[in-house]
Amino acid sequence: MKRVEDYIKSIPDFPQKGIIFRDVTSVLESADGFSLAIDEMNKLLDGVDYNLIAGTESRGFIFGAPLAYMNKKGFIPVRKKGKLPRETVEMSYDLEYGSATIEIHKDAIKPGDRVVLVDDLIATGGTIQASAKLIEQLGGEVVKMIFLIELPDLGGRKVLAGYDVESIVQYQGE
């Protein structure tokens, strides 16, 4: 039986020399791989009390929306600045080379909402940390963070200390 990591392609020297890029599009291209990835991520939600799933742009949408559908939960998109039509709240954060700003609709999260955050990959943790802060700013509680891939050596778990963080596949030292 295949595992999720069997569907992930590793691309050396992308986007720059010395980096091994973990390509999730190869998971999505396979019906079996995509189904397996969603099923494995869904197992991480067993026993979790939540009412919303939030996914970060853009691959968090790809994995978060099917999980919300399967579990009959609402889905909240966390978008790059300027992409949402209603009133928003925003958070800026630093990237390895520069900064970014994300936002969610101001009325998407109600006080007391229990939210699971979903993304394809956790590396440094900056995007998901900013997403959590936005949810908390609106009165929601982040009860779990789930990822398909984790790059532990980049320190994302340390940035997210205090949150329940789980991933399906971990790649050490890269």
Q: Measured between alpha carbons, how far is residue 130 from residues 33, 46, 94, 159 in Å?
A: 29, 25, 10, 11
Q: Which of 62, 48, 20 is nearest to 148 (CA)?
A: 62
Check 5, 40, 59, 90 and give the catalytic one: 59
167: Cα separation from own chain's centroid: 10
Q: Which of 127, 87, 84, 135 is nearest to 109 (CA)?
A: 135
96 catalytic? Reply is: yes
The two tokens of residue 71 are 């579990």
Q: Enumerate the active-site residues.
A: 59, 96
